[in-house]
Structures are given as C-alpha cells and as structure tokens.
Amino acid sequence: MIAFIGTGLLGSNFTKALLKKGEKVQVWNRSSEKATALEADGAIAFNDIKDAVRGTKRIHLTLSDDASVDAVLASAEEAIQPGSFILDHTTTTMKGAIDRTKNWAAKGIHYVHVPVFMGPANALESTGFMLISGNAEQLEQVMPMITPMTGKVIYYGKEPGRAAAIKLMGNSFLITMTTGIADMLAIAKSMDIPNADITKLFDNWNAGATAPTRLARMLSGNYDQPSWELQMSRKDARLMLDIAEQAGKHLAILPACAAEMDRWLEKGMAQKDWTIIGSDHI
C-alpha cells in the first residue's frame, strides 16, 4: 500500500499512474475534493491524513514548500510506521531537505528528497526526470520505488540536500528563459511580426540546443576568443530596448541584462566574449 499526500495536478497524475501499474494507493489532500476525485480511478481517499498514511510503508509528497511539508508531516507523524519511506517530490530549500533527512532518521524513518523536472503529463506517462541524492544504501532501496515513475533518475551523490539545490538551480533557468521568451514576444509585437513567423524561426532554429555549449564556454573561463563580442551583444540589446520603448512595450528581463553588460563594459571587457558576464559566479 502506498500513500500519496498532495493531489494537485502533479500528485493526482502520479497517483493515476501508480494505480494503472496495479499499486494500491491511499490519498489525502488539504482540499479533500481533489483526493476524493481520485476514487473514480481506484484510489482510497481519506479526510484525516493519519488514516491516509496508517498501514503504509511508502509515503509520497507533492506539496508547495518547506512549511507545507513540515506541517503536513507533523500532522501525520503519529501514524507513520518506523522504517517507512517518505519520498518527497516537493521543490524545497536545500537546508529544509537536509534537516528533514536528519530529523526523520532520528525517528527511525527514511526521508528522501526526490524533486522532479516533470509536468502533469510526465507524471501520468512516467516520463521526465527525478533527482535524488543521499545515503547509497538507502537509495538502493528507494530506486525500485521511483524508477517506474519516471523516464530517468539522476543521482547527485551522498549529500542529502544536493538534489534540492539542483532543482532550484534548474527552475531558475526555466523562469529566466520563460521571461526571456516573454520579452522576445514583446519585441516581435513591437515590429508587427506575426505568431506564425515566430514559430517558423523556432521550428528551424533550436536555440535551446546551444545551452550546453554556452555553459561549457562559461565554465571554461576562456573569453578571449569571442563568438559574439560583449560590445556587439550590448549594441543589439540597445536596438531591442529602443524598439520596445517606441512601441510602448514592457520588457522584464532585457533591461537588467543590458545593465549587467554595461557593468562589464566599464571594466574594459568590450572585446571579450559576452558570456564573461557570468564569470563572477564560476
């Protein structure tokens, strides 16, 4: 028997996928109707979280943050059996994951943080990525539980908070990338470019495929053989900012990028590769 706590978009689809694989799943959610809705798929819903986890040796969580995880587990604690596994897919802080790993271990319970790069469709189809770190012996027991739930499990070593840190790092990229796309659309609309032409560009030009190469360049610390000089990238940023301003379009991220470029230009880095703007963090 498996308990699944938190049955929003991600949790509900994880539950449905487990049920399709023949698992028996008990569910609980703060908004009880979301848990009850899963009874149609074969789940057993409970109004009391203690009833949902009682008798299970494997508890999955998909909640919102450290505070919600701590509060929910505190409510369920008296019904959690020693030796049970708490598999937490919530995006949390590194410190929170480390503290929970230590605190629950002292109670004879295995807390393992398993954040994901998965949307609801991935959860239902058992695709996407799960991240994990921590004690190797413990993970050997966890892997058979989580491997059928995902396309790939990526192991980040023995430090229990490392997976949490990697998840936040990855989400920072997704947030800035999406905000950058929003700025791109604002610039496109400033020049009356239709959506079909924007789509056509990305159907042919895979900008995302350049990310690993760009990351490697930045991590190398070599900016003396530029593929795009800082002064030229700043010139292009000026053109974009001017176009958007003339059209009355708001840009969220490009002004900050331009300001960072200016900071490096003031250091005399005009002819360096523009990726030098990240060198403070290498």
The one-letter amino acid at 93:
T
Q: State pTM to two decimals.
A: 0.92
Fold of the CATH domain 2-159 = Rossmann fold (3.40.50)
pLDDT digit string, tens, across residues 116-136: 999 999 999 999 999 999 988
Q: What is the pLDDT of residue 137?
A: 86
Q: What are phi and psi of 6, to 5 degrees?
A: 100, 95
Closest to 3 measured CA to CA, from 116, 86, 115, 71: 86
* Token output for 131: 């991240």
**Residue 209 burial (C-beta neighbours within 10 Å; 0-12, 13-18, 19+):** exposed
Cα–Cα dist 4/14, whole Å: 9
Q: What is the pLDDT of residue 238?
A: 98
Q: 162-190 and 230-247 helices cross at what angle (nearest 10)?
A: 60
Q: What is the pLDDT of residue 282?
A: 77
Tell me if residue 153 falls in helix, strand or coil: strand
CATH class (in words) of the domain with range 166-281: mainly alpha
pLDDT digit string, tens, across residues 214-223: 999 999 989 9
- Residues of the chain under the 70 pLDDT cut: none
DSSP assignment letter at 53: H
Q: What is the pLDDT of residue 136?
A: 86
Domain positions in the chain are 2-159, 166-281
